[in-house]
A and B are shown apart, each in its own frame.
Chain A
Amino acid sequence: MAAIEIDGVTKRYGDVVAVRDLSLDIAEGEVFGFLGPNGAGKSTTINMLLDFVRPTEGEIRVLGRDVHDESVAVREHLGVLPEGFSVYDRLTGRQHLEFAIESKDADADPDALLERVGLSGDGDRKAGGYSKGMAQRLVLAMSLVDDPDLLVLDEPSTGLDPNGAKQMREIVREEADRGATVFFSSHILGQVEAVCDRVGILREGELVAEDSIEGLRDAVGSDSTLKVRVDSVPEGVLADLRGIEGVAEVGREDHTLRVTCDSGVKASVITTLESAGAEVEDFEMEESSLEDLFMAYTADKQEVEA
């Protein structure tokens, strides 16, 4: 059974199409990163998973149940960190957790949850006095109540410092190890790269890519950069390098050459250099980061138009 089945979903607000014909299956136990720039339709999609808004067309099933007809049953097995939430200012952190525990008819220890998200000692303070990051941690703790089968985290690292973001990643990993499915959206790619089995990239309401990180790299052509340090740069060698099939770009900085190429042709790059009389002192490969991939998927259109 798939944890999430989104089937041909379109959401229109008047003339504006927020999500267009989206189909996506997330397997049980998978950690899925839902990527896209702000305004791409990530939150609209998540809001449809939660039945906050209803699709104009298409169907969504979560944990085998229709998200609208059996919304409450779905949410009994869900942990959610929504986007754009606010806490109850007059209730303490502990009262928030107690409310979540009571709502889920669960048997959980608020103190253990507070400690897990790094809020031990703050449980008896009113949540109205929490910083954005603390509120984010509190709601993460609420989402963890009763070991949900599926965690839906919308931009979970919003407001968190690097240490908090790291803790968040650790919790995502722990939950995945426990067997939970994790679906989280982000526009911060470092988050996704580190913890996801698979990612989907949304742009202007449409899914433009859906693959593992490695798969995405291959799909983009996954140019790598070869950094080579040589004792000297023989004349004409740069032109020779540019002539190799698979080499996209050659740059020079003193005795260091930067060759952007397919990973398959690095041997010929080295051979060409050596046969031209240069001695290769050192070389290293820089693989393209997901950031570059992401830019390739989401930014190229605008650049072409510009």
Chain B
Amino acid sequence: MTWQAVARKDFQDAVRSKWLWALSALFVLVFSLPAILQFYLEMGSAPPQGEQGSSDAFIFLMKQGTSVLVPLIAIVLAYASITQERESGSLKLLLSLPHSREDVVFGKVVGRAGVLTLPIVLGFVVAAVLILATSLSFKLANFVLFAVLTVVLGLVFVGLSVGISAAASTGRRAMMSATGAFFMFVILWNAFANQLVNLLDKYVGLADATQLHAVLFLKLLNPTQAYKTLIDSFLLESAVQSRIMMFGFMRQQVAAQTLGESLPVYLSNGFVVSYLLLWLLVSVGVGYWVFENADL
């Protein structure tokens, strides 16, 4: 196994790219903005008595942004990771050395994940420092969990993009597939989940509770939804509450009544984490399989 060498080279190469520094700047800016705003608003005024805010409020706000921004940037960083080398011919150098194609795919996932994780961590560190300077109370555990989940979300989308890049024969195809994947996960998924269950109901006929569970399950298969609900579940300290929040305001009460006190196991946090990681495994696995059998 020589994927470490591939990952290191890939990271070395990317670190010299201006991209990485632009990304870091972007993340730092995005993460620090709410904290700076808070700090600015507080200047000169006494901290409000009684209802003191915490860093959880920051997380609540930020997760909407990160759930779009992190997938987007992961895709941009990684969709060409293999097709670019294939089209330029540097892949020939890589594969003239004793690396298997497995090492190439795995090394790329690790290398690009490193490239994405570095600016994310930097953004979180800066945000933490800024929050400490405000009157918000800093809840370290939640903040760290938020950071870890954000890195995992990034990893899933890096894996997805590297998988696409490995399977695609040209950069153009990789770009189109990756763009499609982004819109599917970030924009179309929920509508698709509702439609599918409606169709099922129309032809098979489902009990209301079954419908609700089915919609919820489909939504949880979306990595960005899984990410958000996992964050909510530790902010609200209730997995059930966080699942209810996945429904629109109108359906929340029905959802609460249907779900009751506890969740079926396939809607539990543990399973949601496994769905998230399944995307990583499946997309890297399928990408590798196609790449392994391709003529280069």
Contacts and interface: CB of A to CB of B under 8 A. Distances in A.
Are the chains A and B members of one assembly?
A: yes
Contacts of B97: 75, 99-100, 103-104, 142
Given A87-B90, A139-B93, A76 B98 contact: yes
B294 to A, nearest CB: 9
B95 A52 contact: yes
Interface string A65-99: 00000011101101010101111101100011001
A102 B92 contact: no
Contact of A72 (B12, B88, B99): B99
Contacts of B204: none
B196 interface: no
B43 interface: no
A36 to B, nearest CB: 20
Contacts of B100: 71-72
Given A53-B296, A90-B13, A103-B2, A85 B98 contact: no
Interface residues of A, number: 31
B96 A99 contact: no
Contacts of A139: 93
A176 interface: no
Contacts of B92: 52, 82, 84-85
B79 to A, nearest CB: 19
A75 B17 contact: no
Given A72-B99, A76-B98, A87 B295 contact: no
Contacts of A99: 5, 9, 97
B89 interface: yes
Interface string B1-24: 010010011001100110000000
Contacts, number: 74
Contact of B5 (A51, A82, A103): A103
Contacts of B90: 85-88
A88 B13 contact: yes
Given A85-B89, A87-B90, A99-B5, A54 B295 contact: yes
A143 interface: yes
A50 interface: yes
B19 to A, nearest CB: 11
A72 B96 contact: no
Contacts of B17: 90
Interface string B72-109: 00000000000000001110110111111000000000
Contacts of B2: 103
Nearest to A79: B96
Interface string A179-206: 0000000000000000000000000000
| Residue of A52, A91, A103, A142 contacting most chain B CB atoms (<10 Å) | A103
A157 to B, nearest CB: 18
Contacts of B13: 88, 90-91
Contacts of A95: 9, 12
**A-B pairs, 5 with minimum CB distance:** A80-B96, A103-B97, A53-B295, A82-B92, A90-B16
A303 to B, nearest CB: 34
15 contacts: A50-B95, A53-B295, A72-B98, A73-B98, A75-B97, A84-B92, A85-B92, A85-B96, A87-B93, A88-B93, A90-B13, A95-B12, A99-B5, A102-B5, A103-B98
B296 A103 contact: no
A26 to B, nearest CB: 18
